[in-house]
Amino acid sequence: SKIHEFLQGLPKCEHHVHLEGCLTPELTFQLASRNGITLPDDPAYASVDALKNRFERFTSLDDFLHYYFESMAVLRSEQDFADLAWAYFLQADADGVHHAEVFFDPQVHQERGISYETVVNGFSAGCKRAEQELGISTRLILCFLRHLPVASANELYDQFLASGHYEAGVIHGLGWSSSEVGPPKDMFRDIYASAAAKKIPLTAHAGEEGDASYISTALEVGAQRIDHGINLIQDPQLMQRVAKESILLSVCPVSNLKLQCVKSIAEVPIRKFLEAGVKFSINSDDPAYFGAYILGNYCAVQEAFNLSVLEWRIIAENSVQESWIPNERKAELL
C-alpha cells in the first residue's frame, strides 16, 4: 500500500535491537549443525517449525528470555557472531534503516566459555561490514544482565574498561536488560556512577513489565535513555520530566504485544507520548523471536494509530536527533 511504501522509504534509526534477538530458528539450526551442537532436550527444539510455533505464544518476558538464552548456545566462533550481526543488518537495510544502535549480552556467552574478545570482535566485524557495504552507521551497546549476580556485571565492566573498547570506538555505550521485576531496581548503581563519570552513554530497560518506579530509578542512577518505558504513563509527573528533558524512549510495540505487556498494539501509549511531547523511537527488540523487524513495527503502529505523515516525520526526526551520533551524521540523516 501507499502508506507502507512511505514508511519503508522513511529514513529510520534503530535504537533497540538485541543482536542475539536476531537469531532466527533457521540460523539456530544452521549454526547448531555447523558447530556440532546438540540443541536443548525440549520439544520446542524438535525442528525449525516447532521452534517457530513456540515463539507464537510467549506468556511473559521471562518465558521468552528462557528461549533467548538457550538458543545462544549455538554461537561459538567470532564468525558466528559476525554472521548473526550481518543477518540483522541485511534485514535492517531492506527496511530502510540508516543508523542502528545494537545491544549485545557478553555475560551469557562468557558463562558458556566464550571469551569477551570473541563476542566483541565478531559483533564489531559485523558492524564494520554494515558501515562499509551498506552505509549504515552503527553503535555497539554492551548490556548488563539483571538475572545474574552484580559481581558478574562488575567483572565484565572491569574487562570492558581494561579492553580500551570505549576509547577505541568499538563499544559506544552501556545498557541493562533481562528480567525486570525481581532483582533490585538499582543493582547497577555503582557501574553507572563510574561510567557516567567517564561520560559513557547509558541506557536501561525499564517500564516494560515493571512499573514507572523502575524508570525513575534508572534515571536516578544515570540512564540517559529508557528502553521500552511504556509504563511511564502511570506517572504523569515523571512523564512531564521525561518530555522536558528530551529523554528518549526506545519503544518496541510488537515485542510488548508478543510478551503480553499489552493486549493490543493500540494499548502502547504512542498517541499519549506524542500529545505529551515525549520523544520516542519505534524499534524491533528481538525480531527473530517476535516476527517483526523495524518496518513491521512501524506498520503495526500505523494500523493501530493511523498517524499522519507529519506525525511520522516528527517520530523519524526525533529518532535522528536523539541518536548517539555527531551532528554531522545527524545532518546526513535528516
Q: Which spans of this chain sit near ligand ES4 (rule: CB under 6 A)? A: 18, 21, 61, 68, 177-178, 205, 208, 255, 285-286
Q: Which residues are annotated as a binding site for substrate?
A: 286
Cell of 274: 506524542
For the chain, how many residues are written?
334
Helix, strand, coil share of the chain (percent; to 5) = 55, 15, 30
Catalytic choice (101, 208, 209, 322): 208
Could you confirm whether 208 is annotated as catalytic? yes
Tell me: does residue 83 bind Zn ion (CB under 5 A). no
Residue 331 CB, nearest approach to ligand ES4 (Å):
32
Which residue bears the cell 559506544? Answer: 172
Q: For residue 68, what are the CA distances in angstroms to 86, 150, 169, 240, 264?
A: 19, 21, 28, 35, 23
With vertex at residue 145, the alpha carbon angle to CA 141 and CA 281, rounded to the nearest 5 degrees, is 45
Q: Which is nearer to Zn ion, 22 or 320 (CB)?
A: 22
Backbone angles phi and psi of 185, in degrees to 5: -60, -35
CB nearer to Zn ion: pick between 78 and 285: 285
Question: Which residues have CB under 8 Å from 30's CB, separation 6+?
Answer: none
Whole-number minimum distance, CB 74 to ligand ES4, in Å?
Answer: 17
> What, of Zn ion, ligand ES4, none, does residue 208 touch, CB below 5 to 8 Å by kind?
ligand ES4
State the binding partner of 297 from ligand ES4, Zn ion, none, CB within 5 to 8 A by kind: none
Q: Which residues carry a binding-site annotation for Zn(2+)?
A: 16, 18, 205, 285
Closest distance of CB 52 from Zn ion, Å: 20
Q: Active-site positions?
A: 208
What residues make contact with Zn ion under the rule CB under 5 A? 285
